[in-house]
Amino acid sequence: MSSSVLSPLSQIPPHLQTLADYETQAQKHLSDMVWQYLQGGAMDEYSVRDNRQQFSKIQLVPRLLNDLTQGSTEIEILGQKFPHPIFLAPIGHQQQFYPDAEAATALAAEVLGSNFILSTFTNTDLRRLKAENPFKWFQLYWQGEREKSLALVKLAEAQNFKAIVITVDAPHTGIRDRERRVFFHLPENMQHPHTPTHIPLPELREDQHPVFNGLMQIAPKWADIEFIIANTHLPVILKGVLHPADARKAIAIGVKGLIISNHGGRVLDTAISPLKALAKIKSVVPADFPLLLDGGVRRGTDVFKALAIGASAVLIGRPYIHGLAVAGALGVAHVIKILKEEFEVTMALMGTSTPDDINTDYISQE
């Protein structure tokens, strides 16, 4: 770490009031290489920007004079109750941002009652996370074959994780210009207890295509998802679905929930924003089918808008990593607290006492 990079803070300074403040502060605590990795996206980064901009195109239409004295932010997904609908998205290699990595994130999430989705590429052994914490799901990156993938699922089962989230939108890494310009690389000694950072590729003949016969040959297919569903008692959720036809197919094979996401704009540039995709998918799935929105959430009003369009909960990614870089577990907890309080005030000002009250009647999309 160069001398120009600030060490993590041991207390929160008063100027950190918003998620945007944390974003500004976080850059001072990370090397330029790691910062460009965190903030960057695929190609021209249209999707990175669009994920956030779509929220500003929706206006709120409040209802007044309602009795909100019994108000609550509690939600229920797949029979599990959560104190609020702000979840932490799976992000790998968190040791880049703070020495205690996912252990610090998990602690903050537990204290604030935020559901934490642990990445396959965790630097922290999942057995180190508190087994009795009910608010944790495990995210699976396909390991190139069924048995290796199922072994991770079984490990998550044994450690009391409550759901399996399979990321399906990144069978190939996105072309990230920012990363390439700064020659991004992970530290050589970085530990990934559950998986190698690179799945071994099939050997190619001269006449075979490096993309289609390489990575895509070992990428998961629908039948692989069915295999996992058949071999775990945990609900399986797919992350990265954007097309209504894929949503319908997922339901047909027994998937229990979807995370509507374009991977933070990091994989396929100009992909539809999750907020737009959510509206399209909501119209083709059963009314009570869990849809979670991942991407672009920076304000409590954004959480409200996502729920109004049909999300059961939202995921935040980069914002909590900004908190982690600034002040470890304390920073992550503060980021969640800021967003949660903004959401609570928004609910009150909108005249809604519970998340179930929130629907399209409260927004204008003209």
**Residue 317 marked as a ligand binder:** yes
Is 90 annotated in some ligand binding site?
Answer: yes
| Under 8 Å between Cβ of 277 and 242 | yes
- The response to whether 146 counts as a known ligand-binding position is no
Q: Distance (Å, rounded) from C-alpha 60 to C-alpha 221?
A: 40
User: Which whole-number Å values give the CA distances from 126 to 122, 162, 283, 320, in the listed order?
Assistant: 8, 13, 36, 19
The reply, when asked if residue 98 is annotated as ligand binding, is no
* Annotated binding residue 309: no
Whether 139 has a binding-site annotation, put simply, is: yes
263 is catalytic: yes
296 annotated as belonging to a binding site for a ligand: yes
What residues pair up with 238 in beta bridges, in sequence order? 166, 258
Which run of H or of E encompasses 87? strand 86-88
Annotation-wise, does 351 bind a ligand? no
**What are the Cα distances from residue 22, in Å, to 50, 93, 117, 154, 365?**
20, 20, 21, 37, 29
22 is known to lie in a ligand binding site: no
Q: Hey, is 253 helix, strand or coil?
A: helix
Rounded CA separation 92/115 (Å): 16
- Which three-class secondary structure state does DSSP give residue 118? strand
Max intra-chain CA distance, the chain: 72
Determine whether the annotation assigns residue 239 to a binding site: yes
Structure tokens at 170: 């990144």
Does the annotation place 71 within a ligand binding site?
no
> 46-56 vs 300-309: helix axis angle to the nearest 10?
80
Closest-CA residue to 349 (of 301, 297, 299): 301
178 labelled ligand-binding: no
Which residues contact residue 270 at a Cβ distance below 8 angstroms, ignoring those fewer than 6 apart?
43, 46, 47
- In single-letter form, the type of residue at position 115 comes to N
- Is 248 among the annotated ligand-binding positions? no
| 128 known member of a binding site | no
Q: Which of 29, 84, 93, 263 is catalytic?
A: 263
| Residue 194 assigned to a binding site | no
From the annotation, which residues make up the binding site for FMN?
Answer: 90-92, 119, 139, 239, 261, 294-298, 317-318
Q: Residue ranges for the binding site?
A: 37, 90-92, 119, 139, 141, 167, 176, 239, 261, 263, 266, 294-298, 317-318
Q: Which residues are designated catalytic? A: 263
Residues marked as binding for glyoxylate?
A: 37, 141, 167, 176, 263, 266
